[in-house]
Amino acid sequence: MTHKPVRWLILGVIVLLPVAWWMLRGEPASGVFVGFGGGPPGGSFFPAAGAVSTFVGQQLPDLNVSVEGTGGSGENVRLVNNGDTDMGVAYGGDLHAGYFGTDEFTDDPQTNLRAVGLLFWGYDHLVTLQGGDIHSVADLEGKRLDLGGAGSGSALTGERYFRHLGLLDTMRLSYLGGTAASTALKDGQVDAYHWVSGVPNGAVLDTMATHDVVLLDMATPAIESGLLEAYPYYRLGEIPADGYDDLDAPVPTIMMGTYWIVNKDLPDDIVHDMVAEAYSQDGATFMRQAFEPLRDMTPDQALQGLTVPLHPGAQRYWEEVGVDIPESLRAR
């Protein structure tokens, strides 16, 4: 059996070394400084933000982009809205809930958020070990489940999903996320963990490196319970069989877009120039090589699943390359 963690580590070093150099060098730098909220260790957000910021920094030398570790999607929504960081990565569900003031953002709309475009599709992973008594989502009743890091899009998605199925209050929950969740499963501290990410994902690869795992079907319960009607930013998907070496067949699940978001007050020219570089042909090549899930960064997918308005700088670029922009997404 072969595994991908070594390749994943090498790619992570390639992506993050330039970012670390920008952040840690002692000499003062000139130009514009932009903060980019990433995510927790073992997730997809930090390497995605690292790949984008590294390439854009190479192409726009007067722009200094620093990637910041964060708790994930929900925290990024608040950080970007409040101007504590200029841009970040967020799942479509948290972006929608934040902007429109629903779910965990009820009575607290985050209306300073604006969208740039799709970075990658996030697939819901529900991971347990082979040989146990968990064979379906229903078998999690009464079990120990790690939902994802507190405040992360994984945790918020898990809460929506299991609450809708009537299982949330029946389980013993923890909020570790990423490689910490993988370690907890391998050490027998939890029975399963939930994680939303691109494919492949570092935490899942970490578990598979030493244990035989089962990825549970999350799509069938979603269909049967009407979850997709209740939360229209989720859609059906499959974790592809070639996404992980241990899979013999695709795993039905739910998925949602993972988006590049910015504060509405970030200057138009900065956003336009960053987007133009990141989504260029050269940018697309770099993104795929640096972090595989970013293969989804294509103009034809850029606005799929979005429910909040674009930043004017991003809209200008999408118009330049001929992307049709629905009225509901036009900058305001």
Ramachandran class of 221: left when φ > 0, alpha when ψ lies in -120 to 50, beta otherwise: alpha
Res 222 pLDDT > 70: yes
Q: How far apart are CA 136 and CA 167, in angstroms?
A: 13
Q: 3-class SS at 266?
A: coil
Beta strands in 191-308 (DSSP E): 192-197, 213-215, 235-239, 251-263
Count of CB atoms situated within 10 Å of the CB of 49: 30
Residue 14 bridge partners (DSSP): none
Q: How far apart are CA 194 and CA 23, in angstroms?
A: 32
Question: What is the pLDDT, as a whole number, of residue 16?
Answer: 47
Q: How far apart are CA 329 and CA 310, in angstroms?
A: 6
Res 4 pLDDT > 70: no
Strands 251-263 and 113-129, bridge-based pairing: antiparallel
34-68 residue pLDDT tens? 999 998 876 789 999 999 999 999 999 999 999 99
Strands 87-91 and 213-215, bridge-based pairing: unpaired
State whether the Cα torsion 186-187-191-197 is positive or negative. negative
Q: What is the pTM of this model?
A: 0.80
270-311 residue pLDDT tens? 999 999 999 999 999 999 999 999 999 999 999 999 999 999
Compute the average pLDDT of residues 226-231. Answer: 92
| Residues near 106 by beta carbon (within 8 Å), at least 6 away in sequence | none
Tokens of 271: 């956003």
Amino acid identity of residue 118, one-letter, is L
97-131 residue pLDDT tens? 999 999 889 999 999 999 999 999 999 999 999 99
